[in-house]
Structure 1
Amino acid sequence: MTTIPPNVARRLHKPFLLWGVLCLCLGFVMYMTGVLLIFPRYLLGLEALLDPIAQWLVWYSGMPIVAGLALAMFDLLFLLPGKKPDVPVRFQPVKRRRVTVALTAYNDEESIAGAVEDFLVHPLVERVIVVSNNSSDATFARAEEAGAIVFTEWQPGYGRCVHRSLTEAAKYTDTEFVVLCEGDSTFRAYDIEKLLAYAPHADIVNGTRTVEPLRQYLTQLSTFIYYGNMFVGKLLEAKHLGRSTITDVGTTYKLCRRDALLRLLPQLNPAVNLEFNAHLLDTALDRGLVLLECPITFHPRIGVSKGGNVNNWRGLQVGARMILGLLTDWRLARA
């Protein structure tokens, strides 16, 4: 394999593979659109109108396909050796196996008490924090009654709620780790054991919901959202080629080292809304933090979903904004 000096590769540390994959997708969409125009052409008798369009699409679809292949091969064959960190596998032992759990919540009065109790009884949990994103129901009271330390984040938006949750949890110096999760009972406290098993090797251990035997039959992840989430995860992996393996950008269950979190929080934009988890992972990798994935269980939520998994259309919108964020380094992020 032909290589270039690492110092040259660092200067060319651009996400060519990411751009290449998107170019390939554009070319494929153009080609398939041109081919499928055969149906309205003949069924509606629009040959004169649609034939030139179909020919143009099929013919010129080769341009983004060739460009995408060139960008991808350049990144994989030439730049990858300089992008992949040449460092030993990290092993930083866990000094104290205790965590602070931070749960985000928005109108989750049906589920929040059970979620808090589930985490509080776990032997490795020091405390549970709940941040209610200005809920209009009894979420705050239910969480407090269940034993959580409760805060209200008055500014609306999932990103603001997560940022506040991590900020409050990181203030506790007696725990080395912060576990971020949701209060809708889609995740379980027993997975903390697995997250901690990966902790010596990473700054952030991101839970992945893509392992089929660990995902219940009926969850918020439709087939479209399931594979769309994996696709965006692979785009993020392509952007940071050689740095991580990513299959789930939408999961809200993750473990963070407190010292890494303190460095990361000032770099995050709380105005990013439902795409905030992708923003967090992208920013962490951009700042040189080590990110690992850990298979976790995923369960049906209690109550009504308010996030990006409401339906396939909402999932498509959130996924598109995630891709835009990856391409623009979140400069176009909006609440």
Structure 2
Amino acid sequence: MNPIIKVIIPAYNEQDSIAHVIKDIPKIVDEVIVISNNSTDNTELNAQKAGATVLKETQKGYGYACLKGMDYIKQQTTKPDIVVFLDGDYSDYPEQLTEIIAPIIEENIDFVVGARVDEFREPGAMTPQQVFGNWIATFLMKLFFKARFTDLGPFRGIKYDKLLALNMEDKTYGWTVEMQLKVLKQKMSYREIPVKYRNRIGVSKVSGTVKGTIFAGVKILGWIFKYSFK
């Protein structure tokens, strides 16, 4: 029997990219859920036209949007086997979803991260601060937890029951690192899959601003040190 797969896409003012993302998602996905995180443009309309379920989350923050998507799934009678998280800016290649979920289906791996490796990444697709932030975060996870992660990539898949077991909390920029830290702490099996990464459509709300970059860095390091000394 084929697994039930749901995709959660947080989106804030991604009217120019969101339809591209949705249309490139493989047809094996049962439902694409776009959470408009207080968007003021046509993100919601364009997502609906492209065939997604659209939810609204007025509290601004990546984690708030992801939690909204999870709450929606919890209310459904039929639960998914796998949940995939994907950004709405078209920097990832949604068609690689089949590669992300393959280790879960074929090898019973709990959690898979798409790693934005140098060789598959377009020049300029990640800012220097993003590259450094990923390096320091994964270095510290290796130091404290002997982790094998090399990236905090947003394109990721996880078994639904394992996602619930993580009891995710972060409301903003610490979402990705919190998930990876809790996977390590709970000794879940995990894998990284190299993925392609291109320059996003539009301007990043995190790495595109000094404030966003600093706040994201503080949140990421805060989660790492919190769990390192627990």
Same fold judged by TM-score > 0.5? yes
The equivalent of 1:215 in structure 2 is 121
Does 2:44 correspond to 1:140? yes
Using the TM superposition, give the Cα deviation of residue 300 of structure 1 relative to its aligned residue in structure 2, in angstroms.
1.0
Alignment coverage as a number of residue pairs: 226
Does 2:224 correspond to 1:326? yes
The equivalent of 2:204 in structure 1 is 305
> Are the counterparts in 2 of residues 133 and 154 from structure 1 also a CA contact under 8 Å?
yes
Q: Distance in 2 between matches of 1:169 and 1:150?
A: 13
Using the TM superposition, give the Cα deviation of residue 149 of structure 1 relative to its aligned residue in structure 2, in angstroms.
0.6
Q: Distance in 2 between matches of 1:238 and 1:302?
A: 35
The equivalent of 1:182 in structure 2 is 87
> Are the counterparts in 1 of residues 12 and 36 from structure 2 also a CA contact under 8 Å?
yes
Q: Distance in 2 between matches of 1:263 and 1:149?
A: 25
Q: Distance in 1 between matches of 2:133 and 2:145?
A: 19
> Are the counterparts in 2 of residues 103 and 129 from structure 1 also a CA contact under 8 Å?
yes
SS in 1 for 2:66: helix
Instruction: Tell me the amino acid that sits aligned with residue 255 of structure 1.
Output: G
The equivalent of 1:247 in structure 2 is 150
The equivalent of 1:291 in structure 2 is 190
Does 2:168 correspond to 1:268? yes
Q: Distance in 1 between matches of 2:195 and 2:110?
A: 18
SS in 2 for 1:182: coil
The equivalent of 1:131 in structure 2 is 35
Q: Distance in 2 between matches of 1:182 and 1:224?
A: 19
Quick one: structure 1 residues 283 and 172, their matched pair in 2 at CA, closer, same or farther if it must change by over 3 Å?
A: farther
SS in 2 for 1:302: coil
> TM-score, length-normalised on structure 2?
0.88
Using the TM superposition, give the Cα deviation of residue 252 of structure 1 relative to its aligned residue in structure 2, in angstroms.
1.1
Q: Distance in 1 between matches of 2:203 and 2:178?
A: 25
Instruction: Tell me the amino acid that sits aligned with residue 203 of structure 1.
Output: D
Using the TM superposition, give the Cα deviation of residue 328 of structure 1 relative to its aligned residue in structure 2, in angstroms.
2.1
> TM-score, length-normalised on structure 1?
0.62
Structure with the greater alpha carbon radius of gyration: 1
**Could you tell me the percent identity over the aligned residues?**
26
> Deviations 1:249-291 (Å, cap 9, x if unpaired)?
2x21100101211222xx22143x1121111211222223222
Quick one: structure 1 residues 311 and 157, their matched pair in 2 at CA, closer, same or farther if it must change by over 3 Å?
A: closer
Quick one: structure 1 residues 270 and 325, their matched pair in 2 at CA, closer, same or farther if it must change by over 3 Å?
A: closer
Q: Distance in 2 between matches of 1:323 and 1:304?
A: 24
Q: Distance in 1 between matches of 2:35 and 2:133?
A: 29
Using the TM superposition, give the Cα deviation of residue 295 of structure 1 relative to its aligned residue in structure 2, in angstroms.
0.9
Quick one: structure 1 residues 130 and 314, their matched pair in 2 at CA, closer, same or farther if it must change by over 3 Å?
A: closer
> Deviations 1:129-150 (Å, cap 9, x if unpaired)?
1011121111111111111011
RMSD: 2.3
Does 2:62 correspond to 1:162? no
Q: Distance in 1 between matches of 2:102 and 2:77?
A: 22
Using the TM superposition, give the Cα deviation of residue 230 of structure 1 relative to its aligned residue in structure 2, in angstroms.
1.8
> Deviations 1:47-90 (Å, cap 9, x if unpaired)?
xxxxxxxxxxxxxxxxxxxxxxxxxxxxxxxxxxxxxxxxxxxx
Per chain length, whose mean CA-contact separation is higher, i.e. which structure has more relative contact order (CA < 8 Å, sep 6+)?
Answer: 2
Q: Distance in 1 between matches of 2:102 and 2:114?
A: 12
